[in-house]
Amino acid sequence: MSYIVQGDTGDWEVVIGLEVHAQVASKAKLFSGSPTAFGAEPNSQVSLVDAAMPGMLPVINAYCVEQAVKTGLGLNAQINKISVFERKNYFYADLPQGYQISQYLHPVVGEGIVTVDLADGTTRDIGIERLHMEQDAGKSMHDQDPKRSMIDLNRAGVCLMEIVTKPDIRSPEEAGAFVRKLRSILRYLGTCDGNMEQGSMRADVNVSVRKVGETEYRTRAEIKNVNSVRFIMQAIEIEAERQIEVHESGGEVVQETRLMDPNKGETRSMRAKEFAHDYRYFPDPDLLPLELTDDFIEGIRATLPELPDAKKQRFMDDMGLSAKDATTLVADRESAEYFEAVAAKHDAKKAANWVTNDLFGALNKAGLTIAESPISADHMAKLLTLMDDGTISGKIAKDVFEIMWETSDDPEKIVEDKGLKQITDTGAIEAAVDEIIAANPGQADEVRGGNDKAIGWFVGQVMKATQGKANPQQVNQLLRDKLKG
């Protein structure tokens, strides 16, 4: 599905590259022993290293290195056995060191591939350029005081993985799908919680446009710090429109940093000062090169969980699910685990139906995640068992599901308490059938006269008379025997 914007002078395509900052889910910071928890009191999670007091030296957190390598492996990427930390020099009030420790010429992870799933069922491979480790900066607040900015260094020094894509993305949809897929992979790996609301994951979006058919890239602009999938997609749309207008009116797109304003629906220049991008990187003399052994890398590879693509393939190949259901179920790890727990004892397709339609439908409507589901996987499996062994009909199962949703009760208990068991006693059903036939001689004649559709009406009446507890197949058979036999 190509995304083409029609301009006054012809058709334009959009070229997009993303730089995603993902916070490593570590307890302590990248180079100090202070904690990383979200929402703490200001400056309560700061060591003298983070505050850049003279003489303080960084010591790397081994766990952060493992998570970066694990993520690299999850992105099918090359792991560099030697990487180097460099200083990225700039001055800002929330960067006490006057430089950010980052990786530049020699990142820990090189090229990789992420396969994204698009709405039309197709997939596309997006190239990963690199992944490197770096420190986060502190947080500035400018709206508390007319003359002063407030600085909280709790985030300063937290380990980020910057994941950079190649300029392979061609539409807002692909960009959204990439971020969702990346987040899913990170969550499967457990290396980042992917929580965009809390800033654990945010993206810089590089956008340029070109006429369809052009092979060179035109000048790009970078939209900084976009913190939701929706805003990323929106920023691309808006920025592409803006650049096309600039090109078509004879202007020139400037390479610059822009900010997205979701309220106004525009991006605007940060009016970055001259030289702002001259970071004068050089290797950090406080840190030795990071050297990884094959044993270390293979040890981490051995701990990788089954990732969404492999799981999806297995759901399709071994369990016979459709691509659509499989994609939905593997999108997050908890959903996949829930489904597998239900499917372990049941027909996979039936389990997939109930989980993706009934359960996900109800969760979406209520705005809940799978972890917050009032219906446990165990109870869901029991509900399917009650259907499979004929204790309740499919129709009654929907009612039981509703009650389970409200009460979180065990379906067996619900069926017992409410007397919802299917009537299998032929005598009881037969009595109900006879009664209905006797009460509706007109319709009965129609059936006898060959109107098969009228049988459906009778089935409905009998089901109603038995509060849905009769077995519909059995009712149907009895009616046919009695009216046509």
Which residue lies nearer to another protein by CB, 296 or 457?
296
Tokens of 184: 């899913």
Instruction: For residue 44, state whether it binds another protein (rule: CB under 8 A).
Output: yes
Query: Least distance to another protein from the beta carbon of 364, Å?
Result: 36
Which residue lies nearer to another protein by CB, 246 or 270?
270
Query: Least distance to another protein from the beta carbon of 144, Å?
Result: 7
Instruction: For residue 291, state whether it binds another protein (rule: CB under 8 A).
Output: yes
Return the half-sphere exposure (C-beta side, CA atoms, 13 A cut-off) of residue 316.
14
The CA distance from 330 to 311, in Å, is 7
Selected binder of another protein within 5, 19, 38, 43 (CB under 8 A): 43
Distance of alpha carbon 350 from the chain centroid: 24
Which residue lies nearer to another protein by CB, 82 or 368?
82
Instruction: For residue 393, state whether it binds another protein (rule: CB under 8 A).
Output: no
Strand-pair partners of 424: none
Element (H, E) at 290: strand 290-291
Order of strands, edge to edge, in the sheet holding 99-103?
99-103, 85-89, 282-283
Selected binder of another protein within 5, 19, 38, 60 (CB under 8 A): 60
Instruction: For residue 316, state whether it binds another protein (rule: CB under 8 A).
Output: no
Instruction: For residue 303, state whether it binds another protein (rule: CB under 8 A).
Output: no
Instruction: For residue 264, state whether it binds another protein (rule: CB under 8 A).
Output: no
List all residues 6 or more positions away from 311 whose beta carbon is below 8 Å from its beta carbon.
326, 330, 336
Which residue lies nearer to another protein by CB, 146 or 441?
146
Q: Positive or negative CA dihedral for 90, 92, 97, 100?
A: negative
Which residue lies nearer to another protein by CB, 276 or 344?
276
φ, ψ of residue 433 to 5 degrees: the values are -65, -45
Selected binder of another protein within 9, 10, 113, 149 (CB under 8 A): 149
Which residue lies nearer to another protein by CB, 147 or 365?
147
Among the listed ranges 29-37, 168-176, 183-191, 462-470, the one in contact with another protein (CB under 8 A) is 29-37
List all residues 6 or more positions away from 208 whose beta carbon is below 8 Å from its beta carbon.
14, 15, 167, 217, 218, 219, 220, 221, 243, 253
φ, ψ of residue 472 to 5 degrees: the values are -55, -40
Query: Least distance to another protein from the beta carbon of 274, Å?
Result: 8
Among the listed ranges 6-14, 56-64, 233-241, 337-345, the one in contact with another protein (CB under 8 A) is 56-64
The CA distance from 16 to 427, in Å, is 70
Query: Least distance to another protein from the beta carbon of 34, Å?
Result: 4
Instruction: For residue 420, state whether it binds another protein (rule: CB under 8 A).
Output: no
Among the listed ranges 40-48, 195-203, 296-304, 404-412, the one in contact with another protein (CB under 8 A) is 40-48
Among the listed ranges 188-196, 200-208, 279-287, 463-471, the one in contact with another protein (CB under 8 A) is 279-287
Query: Least distance to another protein from the beta carbon of 90, Å?
Result: 8
Distance of alpha carbon 235 from the chain centroid: 19
Instruction: For residue 167, state whether it binds another protein (rule: CB under 8 A).
Output: no
Shortest CA distance to 381 belongs to which of 407, 420, 344? 344
The CA distance from 197 to 27, in Å, is 19
Selected binder of another protein within 4, 119, 141, 254 (CB under 8 A): 141
Query: Least distance to another protein from the beta carbon of 233, Å?
Result: 24
Contacts of range 359-364, beta carbons closer than 8 Å, 24 or more positions apart: 360/328, 360/335, 362/405
Instruction: For residue 92, state whether it binds another protein (rule: CB under 8 A).
Output: yes
Query: Least distance to another protein from the beta carbon of 52, Å?
Result: 11
3-class DSSP state of 291: strand
Instruction: For residue 234, state whether it binds another protein (rule: CB under 8 A).
Output: no
Which residue lies nearer to another protein by CB, 149 or 408?
149
For residues 76, 78, 82, 83, the Cα torsion angle rounded to the nearest 10 degrees is -70
Instruction: For residue 64, state whether it binds another protein (rule: CB under 8 A).
Output: yes
Query: Least distance to another protein from the beta carbon of 41, Å?
Result: 6
The CA distance from 130 to 125, in Å, is 15
Selected binder of another protein within 2, 6, 144, 364 (CB under 8 A): 144
Instruction: For residue 59, state whether it binds another protein (rule: CB under 8 A).
Output: yes
Which residue lies nearer to another protein by CB, 25 or 454?
25
Among the listed ranges 269-277, 325-333, 452-460, 472-480, the one in contact with another protein (CB under 8 A) is 269-277
Distance of alpha carbon 30 from the chain centroid: 26
Tokens of 460: 């409905």
Site of tokens 């001689």 = 441
Contact in structure between 157 and 29 (CB atoms under 8 Å):
yes
Binding residues for another protein, rule: CB under 8 A, are 26-28, 32-35, 41-49, 51, 59-65, 89, 91-93, 140-142, 144-153, 270-271, 275, 278, 280, 283, 287-291
